[in-house]
Structure 1
Amino acid sequence: MRELQLRLKRWSCDLFCLLLDVVDGEYDARVTEAVAKFQTAKQVDGDPAGVYGPNTRRALEAVTSIE
């Protein structure tokens, strides 16, 4: 979960910094909302809104790094 949170923050801090102010490894309501916003912004299909499924993971990994 920490990697997911870091990738979301790096993808667009303007959008997610307030949602993900703490990278704590918890998949909570903040992360669900951030994932749903990412899915909408990147038009990710195939995963339910707010669910970090394989399609969402591929899309997020394509536009971020954690290095």
Structure 2
Amino acid sequence: ALAVGVAAAALLGFAVALTVTGLDGPEARRAAAPPGPAAAGAASRPAGAPDTDPDGAGTLREGDSGPAVSELQQRLLRVPDVYRDGATDGHYDAVLRAAVARFQLWYGIRGDESGVYGDDTRRDLESRTVR
């Protein structure tokens, strides 16, 4: 009974606060909504800490671009038939995602999401394409 009373008082106080601040419509609904998993995770992470990726810190995936993607493309070109005639433009597109997935399948790499260049895929590809 005490918990119900406390919860009712909190809701009443929140409703009054919304009325006083003038929030109405979508803004009020957003303010009243409990934080989702993303908000809860972001709040628990220390300020300035990098996002954690289950596939590893240097993970590359479709939509990424830059020199690390170019290096991945160049390495894949050295593996026969995985990325034949692929671009080395530094853009992780659907063709590169398919090549990474093919490499993972052909060489039995587990631990990274299919088509995602994570730690396990990186380790295997780098061991096969030593400069």
TM-score by length of 2: 0.46
Match of 2:119 in 1: 54
Gaps of 5+ in 1: none
- The Cα offsets for residues 8-67 of structure 1, whole Å up to 9 and x where unpaired, read as 00112x34214x1x21000010110000000001100000100000000000001003x4
Match of 2:88 in 1: 23
Q: CA RMSD in A?
A: 1.1
Q: 2:107 aligns with which of 9, 23, 42?
A: 42
Q: Which amino acid aligns with 2:83?
A: F
Match of 2:73 in 1: 5
Of structures 1 and 2, the one with the larger relative CO (CA 8 A, separation 6+) is: 1
Gaps of 5+ in 2: 1-68
- CA pair 24-62 structure 1, distance change in 2 beyond 3 A: same
* Greater helix share, structure number: 1
Tell me, what secondary structure is at the counterpart of 2:104?
A: helix
Aligned length, in residue pairs: 63
Whose Rg is larger?
2
TM-score by length of 1: 0.86
